[in-house]
Structure 1
Amino acid sequence: MTPPQTPARRRFLFQGASLLTATTLPAWAHASTAGGRQLDLRHTHTQERLDLVYAVGGDYLDPSLSRLNRFLRDHYTGEVGSMDPLLFDQLHQVRTLLGARMPYEVISGYRCPETNGRLRQKGSGGVAKKSLHMEGRAIDVRLPGVPLAELRDAALSLQAGGVGFYPESQFVHIDTGRVRRW
């Protein structure tokens, strides 16, 4: 049987547990309470899901960026590219603007040059010869529960890069290139 806890004892135990937690958990584990930026993604081709904090304040978290690079790999070849963290900021801002709770559905992230060329030859619509997907600066997404036009408009409102609208394929393209729309 444990002895009854006095208020001073409870405070001591709580402070000790808080100190232990603060010194044993990595910084990213505290990010949600310290202004962290978070992404929740589900890949439509691989069926993988990733929910993580990728930045705290002005600092990007390298382990999270590595996990995002792997998650957004070329799903045709498995090749992992290096994604632009500013793209993650755009996704985070759009989701915040929309007040969305569901994870993004990712259609395409990084694309190696060979995959990009093959998709162009197949006549897949909207595949640019110098696609920013090959530089890790573009992503194609949709957000369940949010009309596609609202997702497009939220991305456009950021004025942070290119936004392509593909209602027939049910996705919005977002990139960190020059500000433009199609």
Structure 2
Amino acid sequence: MSHSFTPSRRLFLRHSANIAVAGASLPFASRAFAGLEPRSLTLDHTHTHEKVSLVYASGNNYVPQALGRLNRFLRDHYTGDVGRIDPHLFDILHRITLALSTQGAYQVISGYRCPTTNNRLRATRGGGVAKHSLHMDGKAIDVRLPGVPLAELRDAALSLQAGGVGFYPHDQFVHIDTGRVRSW
């Protein structure tokens, strides 16, 4: 089910300047960040209880060691399988933190999922897991941001028009992916 996105005037005014700084209208490739400060993320995994805070890119360049750490951090927490995470997913998260003017740590609910885990979750979650989930391709993450209302996190992600955004208020997370622009 797709929901239309109509931001409130208050939210629009509050975040417009920040979104402009985040480069919402620029192409999404890393070259969009050329000349800007290093890009960093702080993540806290709700299942493994691990934390990571690092610079993952600067200008046109991603930092290979940081991407390796993030791949391991976002591994399938059920099996330990490590996938290759799309670096553009990190750019989306970074742009959201800029848009929301926050420096808090994202709480990660789910990153990479191997096909076996995805199939098991599909069988046990009553259809709430996609058969061809972008989590299996390293192109999706489920997160929340303490101190930021879940609806504001969703709205900031939607405003970027950078990929898919799913809103799960009952489960307290927002799904963000690098697939086509859509929402549910």
Provide TM-score, normalisation by structure 2: 0.80
Pairing partner for 2:58 from 56, 59, 67: 56
Q: What is residue 124 of structure 2 aligned with on the other side?
A: 122
Q: What is residue 151 of structure 2 aligned with on the other side?
A: 149
Q: What is residue 92 of structure 1 aligned with on the other side?
A: 94
Q: CA deviation at 1:123?
A: 2.2
Tell me the alpha carbon deviations over residues 112-165 of structure 1, each in whole angstroms, 9 at most, x when there is no partner: 000000000002552100000000000000000000000000000110000000
Q: Give the fraction of aligned pairs with identical amino acids, expressed as a percent.
A: 69
Distance in 2 separating the partners of 1:180 and 1:126: 17
Cα-Cα RMSD: 1.3
Q: What is residue 6 of structure 1 aligned with on the other side?
A: none
Moved over 2 A (4+): 123-126
Structure 2 unaligned residues grouped into runs of 5+: 1-35
Q: What is residue 108 of structure 1 aligned with on the other side?
A: 110
Structure 1 unaligned residues grouped into runs of 5+: 1-33
Amino acid at match of 1:71: F
Amino acid at match of 2:116: E
Q: SS where residue 134 of structure 1 aligns? A: helix
Tell me the alpha carbon deviations over residues 20-73 of structure 1, each in whole angstroms, 9 at most, x when there is no partner: xxxxxxxxxxxxxx7100000000000000000000001000000000000000
Provide TM-score, normalisation by structure 1: 0.80
Distance in 1 separating the partners of 2:107 and 2:56: 18
Distance in 2 separating the partners of 1:158 and 1:38: 18
Based on CA coordinates, which of the two structures has the bigger radius of gyration?
1
How many positions carry a matched residue from both structures?
A: 150
Distance in 2 separating the partners of 1:151 and 1:77: 29
Q: What is residue 84 of structure 2 aligned with on the other side?
A: 82
Higher relative contact order (CA 8 A, sep 6+): 2
Against the structure 1 CA distance between its residues 59 and 172, is the aligned structure 2 distance closer, same or farther, given a 3 Å change threshold? same
Distance in 2 separating the partners of 1:124 and 1:175: 21
Q: What is residue 161 of structure 1 aligned with on the other side?
A: 163
Amino acid at match of 2:150: L
Q: CA deviation at 1:101?
A: 2.1
Amino acid at match of 2:66: S
Amino acid at match of 2:80: G
Q: SS where residue 129 of structure 2 aligns? A: coil
Tell me the alpha carbon deviations over residues 59-113 of structure 1, each in whole angstroms, 9 at most, x when there is no partner: 0000000000000000000000000000000000001110112100000000000
Amino acid at match of 1:100: T
